[in-house]
A and B are shown apart, each in its own frame.
Chain A
Amino acid sequence: FYLTPPQVNSILKANEYSFKVPEFDGKNISSVLGFDSNQLPANAPIEDRRSAATCLQTRGMLLGVFDGHAGCACAQAVSERLFYYIAVSLLPHETLLEIENAVESGRALLPILQWHKHPNDYFSKEASKLYFNSLRTYWQELIDLNSGETTDVKEALINAFKRLDNDISLEAQVGDPNSFLNYLVLRVAFSGATACVAHVDGVDLHVANTGDSRAMLGVQEEDGSWSAVNLSYDHNAQNEHEVERVKMEHPKSEEKSLVKQDRLLGLLMPFRAFGDVKFKWSIELQKRVVESGPDQLNDNEYTKFIPPNYHTPPYLTAEPEVIHHKLRPQDKFLVLATDGLWETMHRQDVARIVGEYLTGVHHQQPIAVGGYKVTLGQMHGLLTERRARISSVFEDQNAATHLIRHAVGNNEFGTVDHERLSKMLSLPEELARMYRDDITIIVVQFNSHVVGACQSEQ
């Protein structure tokens, strides 16, 4: 039994989303043409999340992928909240004051973000008040701090990440009189999520990464070929610097127990994450919160379990590494994806597949007869074959979908094998996780003309 191609397509396309930046938005012309995004679940429910939004009070666009573990609560909360923290961190003093005054006097608030969401990307209504209050406290502190300096994007990103993680932790410690919310904030804090976020403003591209999702820039070389440039470092056991960092932060006596079987304390794959208070709080705090918490939490073996060799917390941080890159005309696109993609595909292949997809036929290596002896029949055969290949590309209207098709369906020759694709997609829920991870992809396409123009201005 195999899925038919239309069935395969309907599975692959269920979560796809595209956004094109309007050409004439009346303001500055954006260096971003638009983005395609998609998700393919392996877990049920899926634990990955994605977000995309345009900053309305400052310039720039935010895009991010979030890979949750031990449930999806943390990834969900981060996907809803992180961009607000970033946007607020970027706001100038006057705007913060204006916003605070509006809240104070009950006036309508300036919109901070314009979200670009797939209908399946939901926001939790119940928690919005709680989240808002935490955010407000943050901006009030920013107002009090008023450094008077212009906001540095890198710093803003780091502050926003750390602050949100801190708020998650605090909310769980304080609890909430509403039992639903109380349970929610605890679930958020006890689950975890990695985050890989890009901020694009003109030619300035910042990528802030926490965990093992990855950002990759697709670069078109002069000869038309594609190459990949990493814009993030994975925070896991494969990253020597990261292992080094963790070891530096703890006494030498723990050196052996810190990283076991390529996992933090032998348990956690990513070395940095949001939530996961089990790796951050002291044992006493964990016990106190779990005991005073609702029964569901108490019944959960996982939450009660204290990691082995847990001596000098915190072992985990949400502080991101930020990479700044000045876009060049040859930088054609950015891929943000959770580890589900990178486990199955090499970044070089990702660059090539997306690059060829985005440029379509026009940049397919043109045929030239040159000095060769070619007959009309031979040429016709060649062209028909090329067209068939192209039409398979255009089955997908979304670069992220196209990439997922390859990630799941690629055979050893690097071409999509329908049989394999169909098998992988028809795996029962309980088996799916064994063969593949959740995959979430955002492909951002840049406007080379605008980038070139900005570059020459500067």
Chain B
Amino acid sequence: SPGMFPRLLSDVRWRAARPPWRRWTSPRRSASGAAEPPPVSLPAQARVVVCGGGITGTSVAYHLAKLGWKDIVLLEQGRLAAGTTRFCAGIVSAARPVSIELKMADYSNKLYQQLEQETGVKTGYMKTGSISLAQTQDRLISLKRIASSLNVMGIPSEIITPKQVAQLHPLINIHDLVGAMYVPGDALVSSADVSLALATAASHNGVQIHERTTVSHVLVQKGRVIGVETDRGQISCQYFVNCAGQWAYELGLSGEEHVSIPVHACEHFYLLTYPLKEPLASSIPTIVDPDGRIYIRNWQGGILSGGFEKNPKPLFTEGRNQLEIQNLQEDWDHFEPLLSALLRRMPDLEALQIMQLVNCPETFTPDMHCIMGESPAVRGYFVLAGMNSAGISYGGGAGKYLAEWMVNGYPSENVWPLDLKRFGSLQSSRTFLRHRVMEVMPLICDLKVPRWDFQTGRQLRTSPLYDRLDAQGARWMEKHGFERVKYFVPPGKDLLDLDQSKTFYKPDWFDIVGSEVKCCKEAVCVIDMSSFTKFEISSTGNQALENLQYLFSNDLDVPVGHVVHTGMLNEQGGYENDCSIARLSKRSFFMISPTDQQVHCWSWLKNHLPSDGSLTLEDVTWKYTALNLIGPRAVDVLSELSYAPITPEHFPSLFCKEMSVGYANGIRVMSITHTGEPGFMLYIPIEYALHVYNEVMNMGQKYGIRNAGYYALRSLRIEKFFAFWGQDLDAFTTPMECGREFQVKLEKGMEFIGQEALLEQKQHGVYKRFTMFILEDHDTDMDLWPWWGEPIFRNGRYVGKTTSSAYSYTLERHVCLGFVQHFDEKTGEELVVTTDFINQGEYEIDIAGQRFQAKAKLYPFSSLFTQRRRKEEVELSGYQRE
């Protein structure tokens, strides 16, 4: 109950200002006590109903109205901006490691800056800048990485020395600092006022706002939103937007058709003090001390300081609970570590008098990124929630993207990392969420090094071989809830424990993965790839082929037994999915997609395939275990296990056959490895998985078979210039831009989605180009390793960012993949990227501020590799003869 908190921030101010939207709508009662006109009744229908009057809801409504939509209704169960938004610390900071979040924060900042002028509502906007402190060298590296990406985005930032920190902020104890990052453009706002300003502007543009109106559930018919039921009656509508913050989960489950929105609240504490004797200047920068887990900002001459403790207190696990709401009180003992960190950072504050310790729940998600997009279960049901305590920083930008999504069908940027469809129903277990958010909240301040994994909510989806592999030293990572092997620690070898293994430099598994890669190149390895999403599409007649031809850019009318690599494109020609499709029979197809495509691809297919029952679409992910046999000896192993001939003449590349392996019948064997190496994928009905695995390992012994993991696979595919969807490819990348024209059959005699856009690109050229970079002067042992998101410079000018990287054990060099763009030197306008443009540049990759020379390539070293391999094959056979 917000009433128990004293009136904070500018709560009082906005009421006095009588915002203009009050003229059109009235709450049932007002705290001012004045006689209120009777409440305006709800409209019977609307185009959009937005639920939630916090920063996200008002931002969505504001942007929808800006984009010209009419008939928008915003419903708020209490008063506008009275929930988490009111107690938000109000820091707008672009210092974010993920580029889409950085863009949202940048946009939010610009939006808020002009909001007061636009609406006349005071927002308390003050450009103070922010200083992120580093107590360790590793922290400084992570700040340098952020600074690099801020700078290329045109957001000024600077790595500064502790002395410079002291000059910018007189109260800071700098003795334990090694450096800091200064972002002068970061700002402070009064978050409630920003929200009210957005509401006011929205209201001017025709949005109807109704306070004290509770949405009980959303009405759905035939998988589409048709209205909402509230405590004040029904509104029929085409679109519903769930911006209910910490209540989003419950609201999602309230309707007949469940919409799973994986968010969970945790208590969050910050401290308010009375002004200092010499009040702080209003322009004093905000301090973020991640190693101390705290932030400190100026608040009315005193300070506001909160943080993200190691032992968060999750709440509302079992839903809204009056008792828990009442217990939301100051917990000083819990705050003690943060207070200690604060006094250590600013010892002079000892004498400062406490005003209050505020306890304000924040909403967290399973992967620390917010959730937006359309529900895969209900069309027209949109969500924006789970801001992970950065609601003010992201609110503006996130609202804009979601509004664009609703109006245009897709936002103007790739928001896949934030898309609701990256989660499945498996992430909506309350126990999972409770445990995971307890890990996520501290993670906000933890050092994020390349390739860290979540520790909670693990071992949920596993392959039937899990125990076998685990016993052989497998180390695991998780993707979409599925456990996948990173690498195998050989017996007798010990790795560092988790905390110590965190590094930006050469990791401790370097040699282990190296030997797995070597085995893939020289002999044969087996990788369990069961997590891949697998669908079967079939029909009684020709419908399956006809429909798939329309959905996929490659020609699927191939003889039975062929495998086709193809993109599933959107109208702009961008990859919605990148998959391999095997034609099992004239009328049935087997489709393999990346692991995290399970929900997204399913909903895309559902939305695009006819629902008249002529087609059968089945998710068979759980039915098959997938083993990838990689290496020149894979063919020998498989030959011995099956009487079917599988030499290249009988079983050329990109073929699929059902055959028996050992005793097991009906194994789908495909001559693909997803790495460019020779070998096979075996799709095994799960009850045979252990048998086939054992047979393969037994038979493989004489060919030197061993287990391998995804790190080896990654190294192999990146040195072969193979792009992976979700890392390199996204909805804004077309096949033309990544050298995959050969996977597009513009002339296949049938229209397909994205065809026009691709034709256009074919004629006029592309504006970005997927390129491979080989780092030249990079010392693997001594230098920082690339990860992804590193800026690429051509002739000293920024041209793009990397999307993935790996060490190539064959080239003995680091390889980065990324996109190169061509900006006009004067106007900054995007120009067509030609092969010459790529080839004629001198490239550098910026890793945490340090630039390394790189050689750009548009095609992989296929010839070099085959030559090497032949030579090694000779060596290997020679060795065997000895």
Could you tell me which A residues sit within 8 Å of B by CB distance? 361, 364, 366-369, 373-377, 379-380, 382-384, 386-387, 390
State whether A376 touches B336 (Cβ < 8 A): no
Residues of chain B from 257 to 300 with CB closer than 8 A to chain A in the complex: 271, 273
Question: Which A residues touch B331, using CB under 8 A?
Answer: 366
Counting CB contacts under 8 A, is B357 at the interface?
yes
Check A386/B340 contact, CB under 8 A, given A375-B351, A375-B353, A379-B354: no
Q: Which of B342-350, B430-438, B622-630, B710-718 contacts A (4 or more CB under 8 A)?
A: B342-350
Complex: how many Å from CA A379 to CA B355? 12
Contact A376 B349 (CB under 8 A): yes
B-side residues, CB < 8 A to A, are 271, 273, 329-333, 335-336, 339-340, 342-343, 349-357
| Chain A residues, Cβ within 8 Å of B330 | 366-369
Majority-rule SS of A interface residues: helix
* Residue pair B333, A374 in contact (C-beta under 8 Å): no
Residues of B within 8 A of A376 (CB): 271, 273, 339, 342-343, 349-354
A387 B343 Cβ-Cβ under 8 A = no
Known: A364-B333, A375-B351, A376-B352. 8 other contacts (CB 8 A): A369-B332, A373-B353, A376-B353, A377-B343, A377-B350, A379-B339, A380-B339, A383-B336
How far is A383 from B331 in the complex, measured between Cα atoms in Å? 11
Give 7 pairs: A residue, B residue, CB < 8 Å, sorted on A: A364-B333, A366-B329, A366-B330, A375-B352, A376-B343, A376-B351, A380-B339
- Bound Cα distance A374, B356 (Å): 10
Q: Give A165 to B406 CA distance when docked, in angstroms.
A: 83
User: With A380-B339, A380-B343 known to touch, is A387 a contact of B354 (CB < 8 Å)?
Assistant: no
Query: Hey, which chain B residues are within 8 Å of A368, CB to CB?
Result: 329-330
Q: CA A382 – CA B352 in complex, angstroms?
A: 15
Give every chain B residue within 8 A of A367 (Cβ-Cβ). 330, 332-333
A374 near B354 with CB under 8 A, answer: yes
How long is the Cα–Cα vector from A179 to B54 in the complex, in angstroms? 86
Which single member of A373, A375, A384 contacts B350 (CB below 8 Å)?
A: A375
Q: Which residues of A contact B350 (CB under 8 A)?
A: 375-377, 380
Set of chain A residues within 8 Å of B335, measured between Cβ atoms: 383
User: Do A369 and B354 touch (CB < 8 A)?
Assistant: yes
- Contact call A377/B351, Cβ cutoff below 8 A: yes
The 4 closest A-B pairs by CB, nearest first: A377-B350, A383-B336, A367-B332, A374-B354
Q: Which residues of B contact A377 (CB under 8 A)?
A: 343, 349-351
Residues of chain A within 8 A of B353, CB atoms compared = 373-376
**Chain A residues with CB below 8 A from B351, complex form:** 375-377
Tell me the nearest residue of chain B to A374, going by C-beta: B354
Task: Tell me if B357 and A369 are in contact (CB < 8 A).
Answer: yes
Determine which residue in A380, A386, A390 has the highest number of CB atoms from chain B within 10 A of its CB, and name it: A380
Q: In the bound complex, how far is the Cα of B351 from the Cα of A375, in angstroms?
A: 5
Q: Which residues from chain B contact A364 at a C-beta distance below 8 Å? A: 333
Specify which chain B residues have a CB less than 8 angstroms from the CB of A375 in the assembled complex.
350-354
With a cutoff of 8 Å between Cβ atoms, the chain B residues found around residue A379 in the complex are: 332, 339, 354
Specify which chain A residues have a CB less than 8 angstroms from the CB of B355 in the assembled complex.
Answer: 369
A380-B340 contact given A374-B354, A375-B350, A375-B353, CB 8 Å threshold:
yes
Chain A neighbourhood of B329, CB < 8 A: 366, 368
Tell me which residues across on chain A come within 8 A of B339, comparing CB atoms: 376, 379-380, 383
Distance from A311 Cβ to chain B, minimum over Cβ atoms (Å):
65
Cα–Cα, bound, A364→B279 (Å): 35
Report chain A residues within 8 Å CB of B354.
369, 374-376, 379
Chain A residues in 8 Å Cβ range of B352 = 375-376
Contacts of B333 in A (CB 8 A): 361, 364, 366-367, 383, 386-387, 390
Within the assembled complex, what's the spacing in Å between the Cα atoms of A368 and B330? 7
| Complex CA–CA separation, A375 to B342 (angstroms) | 13
B538 to chain A, nearest CB (A): 42
A374–B357 CA distance with the chains assembled, in angstroms: 12
Tell me which residues across on chain A come within 8 A of B340, comparing CB atoms.
380, 384
B346 to chain A, nearest CB (A): 9
Q: What residues on B are CB-neighbors of A383 within 8 Å?
A: 332-333, 335-336, 339
B251 CB to nearest A CB, Å: 27
CA gap between A370 and B342 in the complex, in Å: 21
Task: Give chain B nearest CB distance to A223 CB in angstroms.
Answer: 16
Instruction: State in angstroms the CA–CA spacing of A373 and B274 once bound together.
Output: 10
Given A379-B354, A380-B343, also A366-B332 (CB < 8 A): yes
Rounded to whole angstroms, the CA-CA distance of A383 and B269 in the bound complex is 16
- Smallest CB–CB gap between A272 and chain B, Å? 46
Q: Which residues of B contact A366 (CB under 8 A)?
A: 329-333
Query: Which A residues lie within 8 Å of B271 (CB)?
Result: 376
Name the residue on A nearest B336 (C-beta): A383
